[in-house]
Amino acid sequence: MAIAGDAGNDVLTVLPLMDPSNPAFASSPAVTLYKEKIAQYAPTADPGNGIVAYGWTAGAMLQKILEDSPKLTRLSVMETARSFTASGIGLMPKGAKFVTNIKNDWFLGEQFEIVQYSTTKGYFSPVGGAIDFNGKTASFTPKALING
């Protein structure tokens, strides 16, 4: 968000992850591990960059899917990813879940918080509580967007 300058102040968005730049999460074991490993393996990466944080969490989800998959074949991994429940992975907030269901819900990240960016503070802060759309995204998403 820093690239937006003053235009980024007070921007609202949704975030299914903890913002590693927010001091409220500084003592979280997940944020501590994230910052330690980013410094170790990608020292030029900005740990406060949301894309880096999302990539960390996506990698952690893939690891969990591979660990949970009965076989390491394309089909088995895809089926595991489509029948997936995870919490406490990567930078997911405490209590949040990523859930998919092979029959009717392939959408991840349906549980999130509305957050607001402060250019003065340099991080996002939650505005209100968690919002849970698990299992509901398909009901309000255009079919053409889902099915191509």
11-15, 36-40, 51-55, 131-135: least confident range: 131-135
Q: What is the pLDDT of residue 59?
A: 97
In whole angstroms, give the CA distance from residue 14 to residue 70: 34
Q: What is the pLDDT of residue 140?
A: 86
Q: What share of the chain is helix, strand, coil (3-state, %, to 5)?
A: 40, 20, 40
pLDDT at residue 148 is higher than 80: no
Residues 63-119: tens digit of each pLDDT: 999 999 999 999 999 999 999 899 999 999 888 888 888 777 778 778 889 999 999
Q: What is the pTM of this model?
A: 0.85
Q: Which residue has the higher pLDDT, 117 or 145?
A: 117
End-to-end alpha carbon distance in the chain: 31
pLDDT at residue 43 is higher than 80: yes
Q: Which residue has the higher pLDDT, 130 or 118?
A: 118
Residues 6-38: tens digit of each pLDDT: 999 999 999 999 999 999 999 999 999 999 999
> How many C-beta neighbours within 10 Å does residue 97 have?
16
